[in-house]
Amino acid sequence: MCVSIIQMPMMTRDDLLLEFGEIREAHGCCFADYAVATYTIHCCLRLATDQTVAVASRNIDDPAFAASVVLLAPAHLPHDRPTIFGIPANTHGFTHAMAVPSTYHGLLNQIGNRAGLFLCVPIFRCEFSGNESAEEFRQATAHRIPAYEWDRVMQPKISLYFDNPRTGGGTDECGAPVSLRVLLAEIDNLSGVSNGFIEITNYRDEVIEVLSPEKGNYVLIRNRQDEEVIDRARLVAAVETFTTG
C-alpha cells in the first residue's frame, strides 16, 4: 500500500520580495522591515523546505540576536501547540524563545504560503507555560505581553483565585490572569481579613495560598499543607520568587 505525503507550499524568497519590496540576507537569514507612521517592525526569517521561522521586533534592530533565535529553533516544529526552547544570554535579558504556529499569530498574514510560518517570540521563561492554546496566546500578547517589544518589563504568567469579603473582590475557582502589580495590591487588601484568602498559580501550574489572620501578618501555605507565618516583606519576596523563578 502506497501512502502519499502532501506537503504544504512553503514561503519563498520571492514571496518576501512581493511583500516587502526589498530584503537583506545575512547570518543565513532574510531580513526586512515594515515601516508605519509611528514605528518600524524588523523581521528576520529563516526559510526552509518544511517550515519558515520568523522573529519580529518593534523599533529594535538587532540582526545578530534575531538570527541567533531563529537558527536555534528546533526542526519540525509542531503545528498544534507552542514550543519553548532556551537561548543564549543576550543584552535584552531574555532566557527563552517560544515558537508558535501560523494559527497563533498574524505576522505576514497577506502572504498565501504562510501555513508553515512559525513566529518565535523571545521571552522570559515565567511569561508562558508553553501549554497555551491559540486563543490564550492571542489574549496574552494583546493584554499582557507585548511580544514585539524587546525592551519590555518581565510580565510573569499569574492566575489569581481569591475572595475578600471586606472589599467585595474575588474570582471564581478558575481564577483570573493578573499582573504582579495587581497581585501585590490584593495581598495588601487581604491584610487582616481573617475570612478571606488568596490562591496563586504560576506558569508551572504550581499553587501557593495566602491567608491573613490579623493585620500585617500572613500565613503562606505551600503544597496545600506546609504553613509559614510571615510578614509582608518576606511574603512579597516569596511571591516574586514563586511567580518569576
Separation of alpha carbons 55 and 43, rounded Å: 6
Indicate whether 4 pLDDT > 50.
no
Q: Which residue has the higher pLDDT, 234 or 111?
A: 234
Rank 32-41, 112-121, 147-156 by mean pLDDT and report only the highest. 147-156
The grid cell for 245 is: 523563578
Q: Which residues of 194-227 are buried (b: 16+ CB within 10 A; e: fewer)?
A: eebbbbbbbbeeebbbbbbeeeeebebbeeeeee
Residue 149's pLDDT band, with cuts at 50, 70 and 90, is very high
CA distance 87 to 179: 25
For residue 1, pLDDT over 60 is answered with: no
pLDDT at 140: 95
Picking from 231, 201, 225, 199, the residue whose alpha carbon sits closest to that of residue 213 is 231
Q: Over 60: is that where the pLDDT of 8 sits?
A: no
Strand-pair category, 29-35 with 24-26: antiparallel
Q: In which residue are the cell numbers 507612521 written?
A: 37
| Count of alpha carbons within 13 angstroms of residue 118, beta-carbon side | 30
Q: What is the DSSP string of 126-167?
A: GG--S---HHHHHHHHHHT--TT-TTPPP----EEEEEETTT
Report the pLDDT averaged over residues 93-99: 98
Task: Look at residue 155 in the predicted model and tell me its pLDDT.
Answer: 95
What pLDDT is stored for residue 2 in this prediction?
46
Cα–Cα dist 194/204, whole Å: 28
Q: What is the pLDDT of residue 9?
A: 60
Share of the chain above pLDDT 70, in %: 96
Residue type present at position 48:
A
Task: Report yes or no: 99 and 77 within 8 Å, Cβ to Cβ.
Answer: yes
Pairing of strands 169-170, 159-164: antiparallel
pLDDT for res 112: 80
Q: What is the pLDDT of residues 196-245, one digit of tens each?
A: 999 999 999 999 999 999 999 999 999 888 999 999 999 999 999 999 99
The model's pTM is 0.89
Q: How far apart are CA 244 and CA 127, in angstroms?
A: 8
Q: What is the mean pLDDT of the chain?
A: 94
3-state SS class at 6: coil
Per DSSP, which regions of 156-223 are E strands? 159-164, 169-170, 176-177, 197-201, 207-214, 217-222
Residue 52's closest CA among 143, 119, 104, 6? 119
